[in-house]
Amino acid sequence: MRPPGLCGVSRAPPALLLLLLLLLAPLREAPRAQGARAAELRVRVRLPDGQVTEESLQADSDGDSISLELRKPDGTLLSFIADFKKDVKIFRALILGELEKGQSQFQALCFLSRLHRNEIIPSEAMAKLRQKNPRAVRQAEEVRGPELLHMDLAVNFTLGALLSPHLRNVCAEAAEAIYARQEDAHFWLEQGVDGAVFEPLPRDPEPGLARCRQVGEHGKPCVCRYTLSLAWYPCLLKYCHSHERPAPYKCGIRSCQKSYSFDFYVPQRQLCLWDEDP
Ligand SMILES: *[C@@H]1O[C@H](CO)[C@@H](O)[C@H](O)[C@H]1NC(C)=O
């Protein structure tokens, strides 16, 4: 017997309440002249440190891209773009400086890396996501293994549009600090991207070049590390089976969380003030 107070309470498992519904009715192909279709989803997410923040996810199915944005409680603004047309993912961090320590107002960093097909759901599926319960705090169902990327190339901001048209908007504040990896650049060059986009950075690990957290003097070059986390993103489509349908059909998404650490050369220790011993 259920206590009367619980009458009418949904007995669906909590995971189901958090499920985002995929609207399955296929959208009619809109004529190009009507402009890009963009859909936005705002979700409340739990960060790896337990705090809650709002995250915005946008899909542009004409441009075939997804963007994600979240503000960390310390004020850092993180942006992520998946550009499926160019096989590029862009991470940007706007890090607030501590004015009382004489730091500039903010520091911007951009990291580019190759986008693989299985990392995030396609933009047309993302554009169809709607949420049932906007107040729910979402926690990713799967924590994907953290990744450490050694950034050994600088990207020329002016020429960067040849790599992805999103660079001009997303990385404008970071024009002097856009990084990529040779292994990804090789792939993009094979796709026809101009090699002039990339410039080599001093090699990491260069013999004797220390991690910034171990360097005391502000003027010295060192290897800086920045770590960020995509707190919640739809990483896989779920398929269901039904007796009424001949084939499995899309019925939801799996959500993931993933951290990325980027190592990159800085000519001066003070360009990496966040990288300190805990
Ligand atoms: C970026 O490329 C442009 C065009 O080739 C060039 O004029 C400019 O000097 C380059 N910028 C840097 C920082 O090398």
pLDDT of residue 22: 40
* Nearest atom in ligand 1 to 159's CA: 2
pLDDT of residue 233: 96
pLDDT of residue 56: 96
Q: Write the residue with the smallest CA distance to atom 6 of ligand 1.
A: 158
| 175 Cα: distance to centroid of ligand 1 (angstroms) | 11
How many Å apart are CA 91 and CA 65, to the nearest integer? Answer: 14
| 196 Cα: distance to centroid of ligand 1 (angstroms) | 9
| 72 Cα: distance to centroid of ligand 1 (angstroms) | 33
pLDDT of residue 157: 96
pLDDT of residue 139: 93
* Nearest atom in ligand 1 to 157's CA: 1
| 105, 76 contact by CB (below 8 A) | no
| 197 Cα: distance to centroid of ligand 1 (angstroms) | 9
Q: Write the residue with the smallest CA distance to atom 11 of ligand 1.
A: 156
User: From first to last of its 278 residues, what are the pLDDT tens digits of the chain?
Assistant: 333 333 333 333 333 333 344 433 333 333 333 344 567 899 999 988 889 999 999 999 899 999 999 999 989 999 999 999 999 999 999 998 776 666 667 899 999 999 998 899 999 999 988 888 888 999 999 999 999 999 999 999 999 999 999 999 999 999 999 999 999 999 999 999 999 999 988 754 566 788 999 988 888 899 999 999 999 999 999 999 888 888 988 888 999 999 999 999 999 998 898 887 65
Cis peptide before 26 (omega within 30 of 0): no
pTM to 2 decimals?
0.84
| 156 Cα: distance to centroid of ligand 1 (angstroms) | 6
pLDDT of residue 103: 65
Tell whether the torsion through CA atoms of 86, 78, 145 and 264 is positive or negative: positive
Give ligand 1 pocket residues (Cβ under 6 A): 156, 158-159, 196
